[in-house]
Amino acid sequence: MKIRIAFLGPSGTFTEEALDKYIGLRNLGSSVQKVPYSNIGEVIKSVDRGEVSEGIVPIENSLEGSVNITLDFLTFESEARIIREITVPIKHSLIGKKNIQIEKIKKIISHPHATAQCKNYISTYLKNASIIAANSTAEAIKILKEKDSDIAAIGTKTAAKIYGLEIIASDIEDNKENKTRFVFIGNRIQPRTGRDKTSIVCFLKQDRPGSLYNILKEFADRNINLTRLESRPAKKNLGDYVFLIDLDGHLHDKDIYDAIDVLRKRVYLIKILGSYPKWN
């Protein structure tokens, strides 16, 4: 039976490219059935509903930071767990219909993260063009096929080929080291590998001086390295936040288990987003 893995579609997204890289590295070939969904929320919910075994979604970009919709769904709306991660370089192309001239482009359509990652190119060569948001870069290119010839899209070379469109300019991202971290989600905690990462969310009982310090102290006292710390609105009162933390090690390592066990008594809730192998 094939492993069904959901991804942010349609075909030609960076998420699909990340999935294809994983499939190639693991030599999974025809054992995987790729299932496209129209937005990140639906990818995650498809795992919760049991429609697929796994899903893959973007979670962090080296230029634009966190993908907030992914964090919010995993924190507040899903019981899915992160089971692995993969980081891939992001190379953007300006794509249009055949023989389009760049000075004739009046509108650019793409995912907001993509246009943000190419803002220098846009301000230099397309400063008078208006920006239209799409759910994904591939969706933008698919829509472009049905639009007038004065509209261009930003996306992957793969999508341009799929939809029979022309690459006007390649590698238009502001930073050539541009990378995105993607996470696979499922319904399990991965076993220890000895080179793991754990992601948690801390919900506070109430906001008061020293709250964050008291959380961080439990990890510092045990020499546990934190690799990422971020606050997100708690979706309640203005000024209420939750803290998302990535740390080195596995949930079943004694020091991490003990630290989280102590914190459970001091905060309202700790949600385990996953323990999984590090990418690198």
Tens of pLDDT, residue by residue over 106-152, are 999 999 989 999 999 999 999 899 999 998 899 999 888 787 778 99
pLDDT at 237: 67
Record the pTM: 0.90
Tens of pLDDT, residue by residue over 33-85, are 999 999 999 999 999 999 999 999 999 999 889 999 999 999 999 999 999 99
Domains 3-88+178-186 and 196-277 share a fold: no
| Domains in the chain: boundaries | 3-88+178-186, 93-169, 196-277
CATH code that applies to domain 196-277: 3.30.70.260
CA atoms of 149 and 199, how far apart (whole Å): 45
Residue 94, pLDDT > 90, answer: yes
- Please report, rounded to a whole number, the percentage of residues in the chain having pLDDT higher than 70: 98
SS3 249: coil
Q: In one letter, which amino acid is 176?
A: K
| Contact predicate 248/224, CB 8 Å | yes
Residue 207, pLDDT > 70, answer: no
pLDDT (average), residues 155-176: 92
Please state whether beta strands 179-186 and 32-37 pair in parallel, antiparallel, or not at all (unpaired): unpaired
Residue 239, pLDDT > 60, answer: no
CATH architecture under which domain 93-169 falls: 3-Layer(aba) Sandwich (3.40)
pLDDT at 236: 73
Class of CATH domain 3-88+178-186:
alpha beta
* Average pLDDT value for the chain: 92
Residue 227 banded pLDDT, cuts 50, 70, 90 = very high
pLDDT at 98: 85
Nearest to 21 by CA among 71, 84, 75, 72: 84
